[in-house]
Amino acid sequence: MKIALINENSQAAKNSMIYETLKKVVEPKGHEVFNYGMYSAEDEAQLTYVQNGILTAILLNSGAADYVITGCGTGEGAMLACNSFPGVLCGHVVDPSDAYMFAQINDGNAISLPFAKGFGWGAELNLEYIFEKLFEGRSGQGYPKDRVIPEQRNKKILDEVKKVTHTDMLTILQRIDQDLLRGAVGGAKFKEYFYENCKNDEIKEYIKNLLG
């Protein structure tokens, strides 16, 4: 699995710690981590939580990533931004039980974490335990076990509803504010990671033309 990490500007200083903690947990499981930044608060490419959502949607809808770890100060804004787009099912995760139940009940492909609120002593341990529970075995297996069938059925229903309530990603890229979009894909490592891993030729070509 290709896992992307995205940090917005208010919490960019924590990127290295989050990245190393994520790698520590998931690389032994055979997953790859791609750090899309921000890497520091002084980065030339500044991401807002809205742009976190745009970038998350581009990566997931193009196949450049299979899962996205993102967040903001409270985690709420990034979650709302992510869920504004098709092909993204993002949960708000505060603790390891949130991570486990989101993975097993909702079977999403992104989480948004609070990187300021409640982020004190032991924060890196909480992150480590969250990532352990998030990527523990196969997702979508249900919890508790007597709720497996209705939970899996509801997940399929939600996926179909999102197909109706959202337009396709290429149309969104064409209609969205282009300066906002350029900012979302302007990170230092974006071209390197995205062009190598993108599986959608239409989205890749549009982004290439946008960036010149």
User: pLDDT class for 100, splitting at 50, 70, 90?
Assistant: very high
| Residue 132 structure tokens | 């352990």
Number of structural domains (the chain) is: 1
Strand-pairing partners, residue 70, are 112
The pTM is what?
A: 0.96
Cα gap 26→212, rounded to integer Å: 34
pLDDT for position 37:
97
Average pLDDT over every residue of 59-68:
98
Stretch 86-96: mean pLDDT, rounded? Answer: 98
Q: What is the pLDDT of residues 173-206, one digit of tens each?
A: 999 999 999 999 999 999 999 999 999 999 999 9
Q: Can you give the pLDDT at residue 17?
A: 97
Classify the C-alpha dihedral 34-96-62-79 as positive or negative. Answer: negative
Quote the domain boundaries for residue 17: 2-211
Give DSSP secondary structure letters for 91-133: EE--SHHHHHHIIIII--SEEEEESSTT--TTHHHHHHHHHHH
CATH of the domain at 125: 3.40.1400.10
